[in-house]
Amino acid sequence: MIDALKHLPRPRAGAEQLADNFGDLAPPLTARQAAVESARCLYCFDAPCINACPSDIDIPSFIHRISDDNLQGAAEKILSANILGGSCARVCPTEILCQQACVRNSAQECAPVLIGLLQRYAVDNANFSEHPFKRSPASGKRIAVVGAGPAGLSCAHRLAMHGHDVVIYEAQEKAGGLNEYGIARYKLVDDYAQREVDFLLGIGGIEICHGQRLGANLSLTELHQQYDSVFLGVGLNAVRQLGLADEEAPGLLAATEYIRELRQADDLSQLPLAERCLVIGAGNTAIDMAVQMSRLGARDVNLVYRRGHADMGATEHEQDIAKANQVRLHTWARPDAVLLDDMGRVRGMRFIRTEMADGRLRDTGESFELAADAIFKAIGQRFDDASLSDPLAAQLARDGERIRVDQCLRTSLPGVYAGGDCTALGQDLTVEAVQHGKLAAEAIHAQLMLNVEAA
């Protein structure tokens, strides 16, 4: 139970109905649908969809294999570029990446090829009898990976392919990172995140040590001394604050905390329900939070953002999901004060209306209030500085609060690499984190082999 919400009621619907409410957002293609959709691909020679894919998947090639009913070959083509291709097919914003770039995405062609659903179809139906990738002969090298999220898992798998032994240090009880703890439940159903981790570990040579947090019971200094290389995939684990009085009042908490609880719940009917729900933010996490509270049975769900729709971090597709789930989107308003009842609990929030003037956001002087039983902050996460508190970690060069890396994912410390959300590269997408891990692994392998040759 989340302490800040323990005073709230439980959903009116039973566990079975709620489970149905959180069914798969995008049901998988049937064999017939996959055959028809794959036939729409033009197999472009200079395919723009490949250039738009952060993980460099050869999209026309895997779609061609689907059309030839070679699902195992299609899946191998996907996974060779993106070992987490199954989850990325479900959570990746294909509408602004590969499908947006598809040559069929025009007024004349009506709609792009459904690349994401085809990718999922191939990976889900490949039916591998054994892991599709084999380890190279043992190199005798050991690499430490900090964080078992998409970046860390991708890095570990690629290093294991090269014959290196990898130890992943993970703070949580389960591997998977945001795929396990931070994605809307209706996007990754049936414990898919853990099934994908189990598949990835099937290559061998990877050990995961849970309950290990950098800056607490784990230090970069020790890892740097004990291993041949270190990869940091620590993500963004601290929550940004609104900077308002009474921000710690019962009924106000981070959206990520509630989403984590929801994803780990065996019985959704035991979760606290905010009948009147207020979400502050404009990214995918804000949308996920609002939609999930609506599906739990909230009767009034409002999402508020200080700028306009065009500036929202959530894609138009995500915004449409929110609207389809009766979420009201309020723009041009910023939080001004938390409103409390006689018991000191959240009863709503006051907002100041905003506008753009001379390229800057400013207050208009108008205000309004929204009633709420709970308020969820989804205004972004920040780097947890405590993770870099030991003397060696403190020497890492930073870009703002994030770790600075070059194009090979090397940090300012020799032998230490980083990727994913803890760096300033990219847009904090799962698929980009996977690519970071893969590229870092290749850079680590190249450097280790160069050292061996030099010796």
Q: Do domains 3-9+240-379 and 39-124 have the same CATH topology?
A: no
User: Per the structure block, which two tokens stand in for 48?
Assistant: 């723009």
Q: Where are the domains of the chain?
A: 3-9+240-379, 39-124, 142-236+390-454
The closest alpha carbon to 178, from 249, 132, 235, 129, belongs to 235
Q: What residues form DSSP beta bridges with 277?
A: 301, 374
CA distance 293 to 251: 14
Fold for the domain defined by 3-9+240-379: FAD/NAD(P)-binding domain (3.50.50)
pLDDT of residue 1: 67
In total, the chain counts a number of residues equal to 455
The pLDDT of residue 305: 98
Task: Note the pLDDT of residue 425.
Answer: 86
pTM check: above 0.85: yes
Cα end-to-end span (Å), the chain? 56
Pairing label, strands 229-232, 416-418: parallel
CATH 2.40.70.10 assigned to domain 39-124? The reply is no
Gap between the Cα atoms of 173 and 192, Å rounded: 16
Say if residue 313 is exposed, middle or buried (CB neighbours under 10 Å; 0-12, 13-18, 19+).
Answer: middle
Q: Is the dihedral of CA 4, 6, 9, 15 positive or negative?
A: positive
Nearest residue to 74 (alpha-carbon basis) of 111, 45, 34:
34
pLDDT at 96: 93
What is the per-residue pLDDT for 453?
A: 65
In the numeric block, the tokens 């947090």 are attached to: 213
CB-based contact 249:344 (threshold 8 Å): yes
What is the 3-state secondary structure of the chain? CCHHHCCCCCCCCCHHHHHHHCCCCCCCCCHHHHHHHHCCCCCCCCCHHHHHCCCCCCHHHHHHHHHCCCHHHHHHHHHHHCCCHHHHHHHCCHHHCHHHHCCCCCCCCCCCCCHHHHHHHHHHCCCCCCCCCCCCCCCCCEEEEECCCHHHHHHHHHHHHCCCEEEEEECCCCCCCHHHHCCCCCCCCCCHHHHHHHHHHCCCCEEEEECCCECCCECHHHHHHHCCEEEECCCCCEECCCCCCCCCCCCEEEHHHHHHHHHHCCCHHHCCCCCEEEEEECCHHHHHHHHHHHHHCCCEEEEECCCCHHHCCCCHHHHHHHHHCCEEEECCEEEEEEEECCCCCEEEEEEEEEEEECCEEEEEEEEEEEECCEEEEECCEECCHHHHCCCCHHHCCEECCEECCCCCCECCCCCEEECHHHECCCCCCHHHHHHHHHHHHHHHHHHHHHHHHHC
pLDDT at 179 (0 to 100): 96
CATH no., domain 142-236+390-454: 3.50.50.60
- Residue 428 is predicted with a pLDDT of 82
Q: What is the pLDDT of residue 454?
A: 64
Q: For each successive 10 residues of the chain (455 residues), what is the average pLDDT? A: 91 96 94 96 94 96 97 97 97 94 90 96 94 95 98 98 98 96 95 97 97 95 97 92 95 96 96 98 96 98 96 94 97 98 97 95 96 96 88 93 95 97 88 97 95 66
pLDDT of residue 108: 85
Give 243's contacts (C-beta < 8 A, 6+ positions apart).
none
Count CB-CB contacts under 10 A for residue 446.
12
